[in-house]
Structure 1
């Protein structure tokens, strides 16, 4: 069984986006810790199964981030279940989760399922709008991080800027707050320098859009993250 607490770098692939066999091979053989499969729209059972079959030619761990009930399928190493903490719609907090458990509860291997507490922070992104998220300030983000860890005991807290590079100072503040919950960061990473900057401040860096925009630059983020040490916890902020 893979240990996600040892992960530092993850590539996110969208079943609704085209990727060549050559690109996919380079991504899967890059040394990344995992491939996360998921997207905001157009994710179906057919395109999810197709991408899963192509990834399974390689030894890299493969995770399904569940975005709708129709695309759920066995065959992944883990299933990540988002709950959007700053959504105004209960559908994205617990309603979809209830429906999933009603339909599949007796078949779920709970050891393979991990809940991600999301904060959506880019109001211009499709993900922010699709999940009916509300714009929040930094203090709210820190509060949600504490709720995720201390109240809900979630394994993952995910800061998602989805297409926009985020605030390194905020990411660092959140990282300093969390003790056991892992901090995932995703959004707007375009080069190794940005990957390194966020890798100092988060447990896991997720690189997605860059794969489709500049595959070579995306590949370079793996080594940048793997050679970056995280900042020590509980240090005074600069």
Structure 2
């Protein structure tokens, strides 16, 4: 499923979006909607957003950040495993506890584990997970190859969360991956950066700009598709 996606809009359940804006996002030609956020995500606001997106015929997946906000009915569930954290709860600890408590309810065939590499020190997710964001290109590549070759993860996610990343680093990471699919997210504020990211990564995730400049957000869809 995810390997066919080139452009994805990420919507945060904790942020407001009008019905008109959501309609334009879902009818934009994007390949999928990802629902998720670093804070303020609850069961209720996740259910509300999912039910609104479900009116449209496009894939909708949940990036799980809080067990209390896991909602049935999504097409898939992305499970981040933060590779560059010194706190093992963000790599495996919370995952183990979730399976211990809810393993009998988990739709295993709908789960996609992501090897998450957090690269913006000022982001909420970096502070929350204690991620070591000051990494060389070689270190990032090594994390990505660890995810691919040792952990067998089909997806690696380079998360710059709010700032535009180093596209050469992204491109070099992609070139070193043979099996895993590389997703990029962070700081895409228009068509130009979207096109740059699309040339460096397999899938581009566009998020914050949806809430600050919808017109520019919509322009990123064709920019990504044209760069293929």
Shift of residue 137, structure 1, vs aligned partner? 2.1
Structure 1 residue corresponding to 2:55, chosen from 54, 57, 61: 57
Deviation of 1:88 (Å): 1.4
RMSD of aligned residue pairs (Cα, Å):
0.8
| Partner Cα distance (1:62, 1:103) in 2 | 25
Distance 1:167 1:134 in 2: 16
Partner of 1:202: 201
Equivalent position of 2:23 in the other structure: 25
* Cα displacement string for residues 56-106 of structure 1 (whole angstroms, at most 9, x for unaligned residues): 111111000000110011000000000000011111101111111112212
| Paired residue secondary structure (2:37) | coil
Once superposed, which parts of structure 1, at least 4 consecutive aligned residues long, lie more than 2 Å away? none
1:183-209 per-position Cα deviation (integer Å, ceiling 9, x unaligned): 000000111111011101111000000
Q: CA deviation at 1:140?
A: 1.1
**In structure 2, which of residues 110, 113, 121 is the aligned counterpart of residue 112 of structure 1?**
110
**1:112-148, CA deviations, whole angstroms, 9 ceiling, x for partnerless residues?**
1000111110101111111111122221101001101
Aligned partner of 1:236 in structure 2 is none
TM-score (norm 2): 0.98
Mapped partners of 1:124, 1:196: distance in 2? 24
Write the distance in 2 (CA, Å) between the matches of 1:102 and 1:33: 34
Q: Which runs of 5+ in 2 are unaligned?
A: none
The count of residues paired between Structure 1 and Structure 2 equals 227
Unaligned runs of 5+ in 1: 230-238
| Residue of structure 2 equivalent to 1:157 | 156
In structure 2, distance between residues paired with 1:59 and 1:194: 27
1: CA distance between counterparts of 2:18 and 2:109?
Answer: 33
CA distance in 2, matches of 1:145, 1:83: 12
How far apart in 1 are the matches of 2:42 and 2:105?
20
TM-score, with length taken from structure 1: 0.94
How far apart are 1:212 and its partner, in Å? 0.4
The whole-number CA distance in structure 1 between the counterparts of 2:3 and 2:159 is: 19
